[in-house]
Amino acid sequence: MTAPLRQIEPIQVSVALGARAYDIIIGRGLVASLGERIKALRAGARVAIVTDETVSKLHSGAVEASLKAAGIDSARITVPSGEGSKNYATFEKVCESIIDARIERNDLIVALGGGVIGDLAGFTAACVRRGLDFVQVPTTLLAQVDSSVGGKTGINSRRGKNLIGAFHQPVLVLADTALLDTLPKRDFRAGYAEVAKYGLLGDATFFAWLERNWQDVFAGGPAREHAIAVCCRAKADIVARDERETGDRALLNLGHTFGHALEAGCGFSDRLLHGEAISLGMALAFEFSAQKGLLALSEAARANAHLATVGLPTHLKDVQGGVPPVDTLMDLIAQDKKVKRGTLTFILVRGIGQAFVETNVSAAEVRTFLSEKLAEQ
């Protein structure tokens, strides 16, 4: 597989969910078409744009201009940037602001931002007036390939990530790849962890392509749009089969059990971005699988080498300021959403592209593994 030529027309990926089906549109410069696309979906609807302070300065003007050109009235609701906004207080503020703006049940919410905004705005849309439709306009790589698709919405608890939320599908995802040009390098790199995840969990050919073409993905050439489309197709297929995560969809959590615990243990702060936590979590998942004899150590080394090559963390010592002790990490892992009746579930691997769901994982075995990794710091 070689890097593709730039597509003139946007790429369209459909999420087949019957009456709740929707499209993901991928390409450069798509924000200009947002107003007309919303008008076609919901003629006469008003829009509340939920965004954060950073994205608002960069992109809200273009979004509002597109809406205005289509004759759509809009109100902007801005929250502080960062994971800290996924909390009860900000959720309440956004809910009340939407109600104050007199957004009705036939109107729309537009989530303009990264994963934090998508989760927060989507959860708000699921709750206000017992459910409003919403459109995802993801502005980060992580959101374009993962969190904007599939309808998972929510906020964080002090006991863990995304523990309060709802499944609420968008009616449209508009992934304008030009918006990624404004991302800081660290944020783009963190998002790439989710790109690599799709290869590592179920597509060895795509992972090999990434090993050869990752620099083009970072540079913003046609390879970037191709990679985003591959990831979106993979997620759309899984979501169509298992919307509520009762089976295959759990595979999308490769690296997330370890990663979410580390992210929460670092206080959902800039010490460890979400994508960085997932990179570290995937590295640990591959090493844990190798320790259990599920795959060759060389396969784990290959996976981790690629993550390290692009600049992502693969060792606990890579975390700024260190990580919490094993007792804290185990308490956080016990709060993972995949825990069933107190037993641990992990996404493990038999090789690159061969992830599977393992239930009844021994907590003692995980504790020993993490203790050994902590001792290596």
- Position 27, amino acid: G
**Closest listed residue to residue 287, CA positions, set 238, 331, 348, 230:** 348
Q: What mean pLDDT is predicted for residues 244-270?
A: 92
Per-residue pLDDT band for 2 (boundaries 50, 70, 90) equals low
Q: How many angstroms separate the first and last alpha carbons of the chain? A: 38
Domains of the chain and CATH, by start: 11-182 (3.40.50.1970), 254-377 (1.20.1090.10)
Which is higher by pLDDT, 248 or 15?
A: 15
Element (H, E) at 197: helix 185-202
Of 239-248, 267-276, 338-347, which gets the smallest average pLDDT?
Answer: 338-347
Q: What mean pLDDT is predicted for residues 316-321?
A: 93
Give the three-class secondary structure for 15.
strand
Assign residue 280 a region (left: φ > 0; alpha: ψ between -120 and 50; beta: otherwise): alpha
Distance between CA atoms of residues 306 and 310, nearest Å: 7
- Position 117, amino acid: I
User: pLDDT (tens digit, 9 = 90+) per residue, 145-161?
Assistant: 999 999 999 999 988 88
Per-residue pLDDT band for 377 (boundaries 50, 70, 90) equals confident
Phi, psi (5° rounding) for residue 196? Answer: -60, -35
Continuous H helices in 245-323: 256-265, 274-291, 297-309
Distance between CA atoms of residues 113 and 83, nearest Å: 12
Sequence-ordered list of residues with C-beta below 8 angstroms from that of 89, at least 6 positions apart, any chain? none
Query: Could you tell me the CA-to-CA distances from 14 to 6, 149, 236, 239 in Å, in that order?
Result: 21, 10, 7, 11
Buried b (16+ CB within 10 A) or exposed e, 283-295: bbbbbbbbeeebb
Beta bridge mates, 289: none
State CA 274 to chain mean position distance. 9
Residues noted as catalytic: 130, 152, 194, 235, 245, 249, 253, 256, 260, 274
| 82 DSSP 8-state letter | S
- Position 340, amino acid: K
Q: Give the pLDDT confidence score for residue 1 in this predicted structure.
A: 56
Query: Could you tell me the CA-to-CA distances from 297 to 146, 291, 300, 352, 365 in Å, in that order?
Result: 28, 8, 5, 11, 18
Phi, psi (5° rounding) for residue 289? Answer: -65, -40
Per-residue pLDDT band for 4 (boundaries 50, 70, 90) equals low
| 6 DSSP 8-state letter | P
Distance between CA atoms of residues 354 and 19, nearest Å: 32
* DSSP structure string for 200-244: HHH-HHHHHHHHHHHHHHHHTSHHHHHHHHHHHHHHHHHHHH-TT
Stated pTM of the model: 0.93
User: pLDDT (tens digit, 9 = 90+) per residue, 201-255?
Assistant: 999 999 999 999 999 999 998 999 999 999 999 999 999 999 998 888 999 999 9
The share of the chain scoring above pLDDT 70, in percent, equals 97
**Closest listed residue to residue 292, CA positions, set 241, 250, 346, 246:** 346
Distance between CA atoms of residues 369 and 275, nearest Å: 22
Phi, psi (5° rounding) for residue 110? Answer: -110, 120
